[in-house]
Amino acid sequence: MTDIAQDLPGTVAKRRTPSRYQSDEFKARLKARYNAERRFQVYGALAIATAAAMLVILLFSICSKGYLAFWQTEIKLEITFDPAVLDPSGERDPNGLRRANYQGLINSALYEAFPEVSGRRDRRNLRALISSGGRFQLADMVVANPDLIGTTQEVWFLASDDIDQFAKGTLPCGVTHEERMAGIPCTVPEDSRPINDRNIGWYDQLYANGQVDFAFNSVLFTKGNSREPELAGMWGAIVGSFYTLVITLALAVPIGVAAAVYLEEFAPKNAWTDLIEININNLAAVPSIVFGLLGLAVFLNFFGLPRSAPLVGGIVLALMTLPTVIIATRAALKAVPPSIREAALGVGASPYQVILHHVLPLAAPGILTGTIIGMAQALGETAPLLMVGMVAFIVDIPQGITDAATVMPVQIYMWSDLPERAFVERTSAAIMVLLGFLILMNGLAVYLRKKFERRW
């Protein structure tokens, strides 16, 4: 390093005058070059760190809010299935059974559990501990098993959303359960919290009796939307998203691949195909809401297709995804080496056979990854679906592609607008589910790309 020409064994001659690449000036220049490189690396690392930090903050804020929604507070009550209330005639007619006064059973159970509560206001508050879905739960139980009539059963009910939020600590009164048991009063003033001291007292009593439990919130994954947070699920939106994506896939892939194959392999290169190519590339950059307007004007108003239906949503998303699929497919076709095409042509394959037997199979992984990424985009798309009416409040699970439905991102959008505290965590939970699907799809794309890595 220090001495430029060491006399190593076998060295022919010692250089007397250092070459220009050994001069101090050159060394300084070299050092500056290395410094520039180091700075560049630092910028890059900083950029990555910033992006990663934002991602972590985002995920943390979503998950820390959302994870609570996967649990739900339940309250156990002793229900007496009174034949006089449920089935006075003794006919066990399912229709009659379904219409019986189950709320009455729940109310009686509550009054029995808290005999000291009297007065209309207090009793109404007491009833509000249990979700309004409780009576449907009982109706389902009795219709499924009429032998319950006349017996007394312990039944777990969903707590109402305020109690649930209180139990989870998102609407606290300022002191813990143990402190309250020890007689310490709440620190948060009563009029600034949705549940008053009496409610808290009842809850504490139920808790002490072992009548409070936390269970997995299966409602979130099995039920449709609801005004009541504890009864609101996203299964309807998941099914809606599924139907919509099926339509998108069924339209975008065949059309996109066929268009790409034609443009790439058969179309003559002239002004027309250039124009088409430019248009396709520009289409990929069109704001998605424009596709929604198009869908509204063409499919709803002109063709009269049903509003809010996955059919229309799927068509609109297919239009939006087409450029992605076409561009990805063309890139995949281009990546197939010409030597393979020549080899096939050389043994007398027709252009069609070359494409079908050699080019498409080799391009398939690229097409697949492009398609999956397009689908993931479509899965997360909201704006165009708002335009075709998929933003409606829909309780029922869609049964087909023409039923009114909504999709996951729209559901998230709608929930995020609702005032109840319980919807805040459900919004985050729904985002987590949506992100889960997206990660799954992108993971699949990566896996397929790895699996079918080019093998020539």
Partner 1 sequence: MTASTMNVDPSAIAMSNADAVGTGRVKIHSKDVKVFYGAKQALKGIYLDIFEHSVTALIGPSGCGKSTYLRCLNRMNDTIDICRVEGLIELDGEDIYGRTIDTVQLRARVGMVFQKPNPFPKSIYDNIAYGPRIHGIGARRDEMDVIVEKSLQRAGLWDEVRDRLKEPGTGLSGGQQQRLCIARAIAVSPEVILMDEPCSALDPIATAHIEELIDELRENYTIVIVTHNMQQAARVSQRTAFFHLGDMVEVNDTEEIFTNPKDERTQGYITGRYG
CB nearer to partner 1: pick between 343 and 439: 343
Contact stretch for partner 1 (CB under 8 A) within 51-59, 284-292, 348-356, 440-448: 348-356
CB nearer to partner 1: pick between 104 and 351: 351
Binding flag, residue 448, partner 1 (CB under 8 A): no
Shortest CB 454 distance to partner 1, Å? 8
Among 139, 276, 298, 345, binds partner 1 (CB under 8 A): 345
Binding flag, residue 285, partner 1 (CB under 8 A): no
Angle at 250 between CA 246 and CA 256, to 5 degrees: 130
Shortest CB 390 distance to partner 1, Å? 43
Contact stretch for partner 1 (CB under 8 A) within 84-92, 220-228, 343-351, 433-441: 343-351
Contact stretch for partner 1 (CB under 8 A) within 74-82, 192-200, 275-283, 338-346: 338-346
Number of residues that bind partner 1 (CB under 8 A): 21
Binding flag, residue 334, partner 1 (CB under 8 A): no
CB 157 within 8 A of CB 75: yes
Q: In Å, what is the CA distance from 284 to each residue of 280, 311, 316, 446? A: 7, 22, 14, 22
Nearest by Cα to 339 from 358, 353, 365? 358
Residues 97-116, one symbol each (x = binds partner 1 by CB under 8 A, - = not), give: --------------------
Q: Which long-range contacts (CB under 8 A, 24 or more apart) does 143-147 make?
A: 143/94, 143/97, 143/98, 146/87, 146/92, 146/97
CB nearer to partner 1: pick between 175 and 349: 349
Binding flag, residue 344, partner 1 (CB under 8 A): yes
Among 76, 123, 358, 449, binds partner 1 (CB under 8 A): 358
CB nearer to partner 1: pick between 50 and 350: 350
Q: Three-class SS of residue 36?
A: helix
End-to-end CA gap in the chain: 46
Q: How many CA atoms lie within 13 A of 31 on its CB side?
A: 7
Residues 246 to 275: which contact partner 1 by CB under 8 A? 269
CB nearer to partner 1: pick between 366 and 389: 366
As given in the structure block, the two tokens for residue 449 are 């790309």
- Give the C-alpha separation, 228 to 393, whole Å: 13
CB 123 within 8 A of CB 150: no
- Give the C-alpha separation, 183 to 188, whole Å: 15
Residue located via tokens 């449907």 = 136
Q: Three-class SS of residue 269?
A: coil
CB nearer to partner 1: pick between 363 and 407: 363
Binding flag, residue 346, partner 1 (CB under 8 A): yes
Among 341, 366, 372, 413, binds partner 1 (CB under 8 A): 341
- Give the C-alpha separation, 254 to 247, whole Å: 12
CB nearer to partner 1: pick between 48 and 356: 356
DSSP letters for 171-203: S--SS-HHHHHTTPPPSS-GGGSSS-HHHHHHH
DSSP letters for 115-138: TT--SHHHHHHHHTTB-TTHHHHH
Shortest CB 274 distance to partner 1, Å? 13
CB nearer to partner 1: pick between 9 and 346: 346
Binding flag, residue 330, partner 1 (CB under 8 A): no
Nearest by Cα to 238 from 375, 392, 398? 398
Contact stretch for partner 1 (CB under 8 A) within 238-246, 307-315, 355-363, 376-384: 355-363
Binding flag, residue 450, partner 1 (CB under 8 A): no
CB nearer to partner 1: pick between 9 and 338: 338
Among 9, 115, 348, 419, binds partner 1 (CB under 8 A): 348
CB 112 within 8 A of CB 78: yes
Binding flag, residue 347, partner 1 (CB under 8 A): yes
Binding flag, residue 456, partner 1 (CB under 8 A): yes
- Binding interface with partner 1 (CB under 8 A): 269, 337, 339-350, 353, 357-358, 362, 454-456
